[in-house]
Amino acid sequence: MTIKIKALSMVGEEFSARLIIGGVPGPLLTIEQYGDAPEVVEMQAFGGRVNVLDAAIASVTQGSAVARSDGKTTLDLRDLTTSASIPAILSNGQQSLIAATAPALPRGHPSGEHYVLPKDGNNRYVCAPGQRHRKIYFSEAPAALTRAQIAADAGVTEATVTGAWLLTRPQYGGTEATKVHTAVANLIRAHVTANGMPSRSDHWIMERGHDYLGFALTTLMGEDELHPVLVTSFGTGAKPKVRMTSSFLSAPYVVLQDVDTDEEKVSIRYGYCTAFDHVDVGKEIVMADNVAITVHECDFLKAFWLTVNTIATTGTGIQVWNPQGANYISGMYASESEGILVDSCLLDHAGWADGHSFDLLISSPQPPTKFSHNIYFAANVYDVTIRYCLNTRASSCGTQLRAGAHLEGNIFAENGILSNCQSQEAKQQYVNCLDNIGFGGGYKFVKSYPDPGLGGTEGEQAGGFHWTSAQTGALGNILAHNANPDDPAEIAARTYIEQAQVKVGLAPIANDTIVYRRNIPNVNIEGLDTSVLDATTLQKMGGMLMGQPSATVQELVDYMAAQDNKGPKVAQGRRWVQSRFGRIAGAARSTPADLVFRPEVAFEGFRWDNRYNWSTKDLPGTHVADTADLDGHFLRYGTLTAEIAALHSKGGTLDVTSGRLNIGALTDAADMLVRMSGQVWIGDAEHPLSVEATGGALALTGEMSNLDLYAGGQSLVLLGPDCTAESIIISGQRARVGWDGSGTAALTIGRLEFRRGVRITAGGLNDAYQARINSLTYKHIGKTVTGSVSGFTARVAGVERNDDRGGKISIWLSDVEGIPQVGETFAVSPRRNTDGTDTPVLVQINSVGAFGISPLQRFRSGLIGTGLAEPTVSPTANINEIVLPSGLTPGQPYDLTGAGVVLGDLGDLPPGVVATGGKLVYTP
């Protein structure tokens, strides 16, 4: 194309330009400026992801740019929904244009948001006692106290010994020595779980060596994330055996620990914040319509059938095992769920039994099929993390994950497909795979009948890592030894070839997987000693763990099953393999380090618990004297119990959602979110700290010089011995802010603000999703809702069920503006569909309670010592300004400070506020 200029005299004067295309004249143009046009630096980025650009960017018009200390820029485009051209200014003033693609997957990365509590020295979750708590030791043993024995001891009639009567008398069942019979424990359980009763944080402790199949677990409900119901065991012998199956709401805020489940499938539906901790699963866990379910240090060794459930008949009249129907079984199955964490588990042999018939005959145990897997999560299961597991000998796939996942540090062995993870129909989440090890194949052949549904049912036999989504990230993974090189017979038998051993989609972000001796050419082994690789087998890894030259797969599984904690053993085996394949050092770091957050663009780029996001390629807290530098980034802390000496923020944000982080000191101003089950404990902080807490706990243990706090939801905030706060906002009736423990404390507040809360009862508007309102309302905690009629606004603070089927719930609201009305609706977190769309979930208000506020107070948090001692601390509060909400009940007194809080210097008190009885009280 040529442009001919007719006339040109000065800046601003019009001239005509003509495009020489068929003689058609062009439009009039105006000169605005003479000189060379400034060069625009063009860059590219992925929408829907965290990017790292090799330039120092000062500002962008979309997304979030972080100027890093290494001169690069982290560009966070996770919120970008379409392709875009993003103007930017570099730090030298130069203009830039960033061409951002549309997100490859609409659901983004697995969030890393899970239900995890701090761990004790035995690697068990710590369940703090809440406001309504007692211990109930019970047993099937003859020595356990019966109802008649308790009545005789108390000098009352047997009819007097009810659940309500027993609840207030811990001398019966409060210790091992006073254990009660299961029938007595059931009296208490029936009372505390009756419709309309408040949630509790009781510890139900069963004596080992007995079965408790008649003790209903699914009716239990804890107080909140940190104060769940605990179901556990005491004594010696085999773990107690329990049954947990329900078609309705299942055990929210409940932790099962050190128990066995029976041969019935564990079934949980419409629940949230349920954890299985050191549980031997007797058959299978089936999860549907749940949020935040955790499976930690559990064994899955019996997920198969010995007798047939569904029979198929061949065209020649032979009765055989139907590969599907009621015979279908996996170690874990999930659908319509979010936030599942599978951590440090042993999964073996799901979907088939030894001694099966090659001909699928029903006279023999279950044969293998392609339909049963160690883990099977459907295409509507999001935000999944599976890590540190030994996953072996599945009928078909070690993992069959349809909606993406974060797979980290697992050992897969002898599965038909070692691990399969995809984003089905390109509508789900990314597949992020790091530090996984794979050995062997399935090689479990059965007869293929020509009849429909009975042909080719055995599936693949030598599949490797099938991690197929858009922009898969795969780093540090090793896939080796289709057959044991020390076993000539196995080598001769395993000649089956699958050419694509590592499937990572058409355009992976990264893939450096090592492939060695998989019946195809080796990949990424340059510079490695093959004699060492030949001796790095599953069998020798097992031998290393067991202290012997080698181990069979069965010996390895038996050894792992006998270990109290599997995760550390899996990590030891994985590290041994990775070090011999040149991927990591042989031993973990044993000296302190200064770790800087460096988002790894191959993965999500925001998880604290992903070692690839840190400069040292291990995690802060590997040594207690480590320091962590956020370097201006957003990080999500979760799933860990860790301690560091210091935190550098540099303008970053720390989002604490689960686990516990102990920080010795803050070295600069910090911005934090604390929610879900996250806990952060901070020592000295001479720099400003801004915190929004809607769940979990913030505990200040040293001097705090400048705190800006919002406490809402069902958060706990311990202000420590010496706190100066610019602003404290306490919102709603569930948040608790103040002190626990002993000694003295001082608080100086510039501005103390209270915001209204209210408890409503509600049900689902759409019957199809009625029970699901429990889990999806829980997911909405901390988020805003708006009334459909009154237009009221509020944030969801907490959720409790009102009946054992979960169709009616109590919802606690905070930050309430306006007045909710009976009959109106509001939307909570939507149901996420497999086609990428969302289905709105509406909650309808049935009743509205009294408005209230939560005072500045002493309270038993459950987090100090045993958690059972009432606080004796003597805090003094100096308050310059108090801000009160409108809309509280006229004439009704509201405590602004609790009993035992000493009133120090007070500024001008608002109308209606007086100091009386040692407390500040507001009467509207």
Look up residue 872 and give its two tokens. 């004796």
Yes or no: say if 742 and 871 are a contact pair by the CB < 8 Å rule.
yes
Question: What distance in Å separates the CA atoms of residue 226 and residue 697, rounded to the nearest whole number?
Answer: 8
11: left (phi over 0), alpha (psi -120 to 50) or beta: beta
Smallest Cα–Cα separation from 467: which of 439, 506, 499?
Answer: 506
Question: What distance in Å separates the CA atoms of residue 381 and residue 271, rounded to the nearest whole number?
Answer: 14
Listed in order, strand segments (DSSP E) in 552-678 are 594-596, 627-629, 634-637, 641-648, 653-656, 660-666, 670-674
Yes or no: say if 459 and 415 are a contact pair by the CB < 8 Å rule.
no
Non-local (6+) Cβ contacts of 672 within 8 A are 653, 654, 655, 656, 680, 689, 690, 691, 692, 698
* Average pLDDT along the chain: 93
Yes or no: say if 715 and 679 are a contact pair by the CB < 8 Å rule.
no
How many helices (H) and strands (E) the chain has is answered by: 9, 75
Element (H, E) at 829: strand 825-832
The whole-number pLDDT of residue 499 equals: 74
Percentage, residues of the chain above pLDDT 70 = 94
Least trusted range by pLDDT, from 152-166, 391-405, 617-631, 834-848: 834-848
Confidence of residue 27 (pLDDT cuts 50, 70, 90): low
Question: What distance in Å separates the CA atoms of residue 531 and residue 743, rounded to the nearest whole number?
Answer: 64
Question: What distance in Å separates the CA atoms of residue 123 and residue 297, rounded to the nearest whole number?
Answer: 9
The DSSP code sequence of 510-570 is EE--EEESSSS--BS-TT--HHHHHT--HHHHHHHHHTSS---HHHHHHHHHH-S-SHHHH
Element (H, E) at 321: strand 319-321
The CA-atom distances, in angstroms, between 736 and each of 288, 693, 813 are: 33, 11, 14
Q: What is the DSSP secondary structure assignment for residue 677, as one 8-state letter?
A: T
The whole-number pLDDT of residue 25 equals: 55
Question: What distance in Å separates the CA atoms of residue 783 and residue 675, rounded to the nearest whole number?
Answer: 11
Residue owning tokens 């802010």 = 737
Confidence of residue 2 (pLDDT cuts 50, 70, 90): very low
The whole-number pLDDT of residue 500 equals: 82
For strand 272-277 and strand 319-321, is the pairing parallel, antiparallel, or unpaired? Answer: unpaired
- Kindly tell me if the per-residue pLDDT of 275 is higher than 70: yes
Question: What distance in Å separates the CA atoms of residue 187 and residue 214, rounded to the nearest whole number?
Answer: 12
Look up residue 345 and give its two tokens. 């588990």
Strand partners, 422: 468
Q: What is the pTM of this model?
A: 0.94
Question: What distance in Å separates the CA atoms of residue 71 and residue 62, rounded to the nearest whole number?
Answer: 20
- Kindly tell me if the per-residue pLDDT of 32 is higher than 80: no
Q: Report phi then psi at 383, rounded to 5.
A: 60, 55
Look up residue 106 and give its two tokens. 């609409």
The CA-atom distances, in angstroms, between 535 and each of 415, 486, 540 are: 21, 9, 7
Strand partners, 565: none
Query: For 365-382, b where at least 16 C-beta lie within 10 A, e where not — what string?
Result: bbbbbbbbbbbbbbbbbb
Question: What distance in Å separates the CA atoms of residue 210 and residue 294, rounded to the nearest whole number?
Answer: 25
The whole-number pLDDT of residue 36 equals: 59
C-alpha R_g of the chain: 31
The whole-number pLDDT of residue 717 equals: 98
Question: What distance in Å separates the CA atoms of residue 449 and residue 457, rounded to the nearest whole number?
Answer: 9
Yes or no: say if 766 and 842 are a contact pair by the CB < 8 Å rule.
yes
In degrees to the nearest 10, what's the CA dihedral of 809, 815, 819, 823? -30
Give the Cβ contact number of residue 852 at 10 Å. 18
What is the mean predicted confidence (pLDDT) over 560-568? 97
- Kindly tell me if the per-residue pLDDT of 526 is higher than 60: yes
Q: Report phi then psi at 122, rounded to 5.
A: -100, 15
Instruction: Calculate the CA 569 to chain-centre distance.
Output: 22
The whole-number pLDDT of residue 801 equals: 79
609-648 tens-digit pLDDT: 999 999 999 999 999 999 999 999 999 999 999 999 999 9
The whole-number pLDDT of residue 836 equals: 86
Least trusted range by pLDDT, from 311-320, 500-509, 696-705: 500-509
Is the pLDDT higher at 561 or at 459? 561
Question: What distance in Å separates the CA atoms of residue 242 and residue 94, rounded to the nearest whole number?
Answer: 67
Smallest Cα–Cα separation from 630: which of 615, 646, 647?
Answer: 647
Confidence of residue 4 (pLDDT cuts 50, 70, 90): very low
Residue type, 751: R
Yes or no: say if 145 and 178 are a contact pair by the CB < 8 Å rule.
yes
Confidence of residue 18 (pLDDT cuts 50, 70, 90): very low
476-515 tens-digit pLDDT: 999 999 999 999 999 999 987 777 899 998 789 999 999 9
153-207 tens-digit pLDDT: 999 999 999 999 999 999 999 999 999 999 999 999 999 999 889 999 999 999 9
The whole-number pLDDT of residue 774 equals: 84
Question: What distance in Å separates the CA atoms of residue 116 and residue 344, rounded to the nearest whole number?
Answer: 13
Least trusted range by pLDDT, from 12-16, 392-396, 409-413: 12-16
The whole-number pLDDT of residue 541 equals: 98
Angle CA(263)–CA(225)–CA(635) in degrees, nearest 5? 110
The CA-atom distances, in angstroms, between 582 and each of 412, 477, 518 are: 19, 11, 18
86-142 tens-digit pLDDT: 999 999 999 999 999 999 998 999 999 999 999 999 999 999 999 999 999 999 999
Question: What distance in Å separates the CA atoms of residue 824 and residue 830, rounded to the nearest whole number?
Answer: 18
Strand partners, 832: 838
Q: Is 617 exposed, middle or buried (0-12, 13-18, 19+ CB in 10 A)?
A: middle
Give the Cβ contact number of residue 911 at 10 Å. 8
Question: What distance in Å separates the CA atoms of residue 288 and residue 665, rounded to the nearest whole number?
Answer: 42
Residue owning tokens 């119901």 = 229
- Kindly tell me if the per-residue pLDDT of 14 is higher than 50: no
Least trusted range by pLDDT, from 169-178, 218-227, 869-878: 218-227
For strand 919-922 and strand 894-895, is the pairing parallel, antiparallel, or unpaired? Answer: antiparallel
Yes or no: say if 595 and 626 are a contact pair by the CB < 8 Å rule.
yes
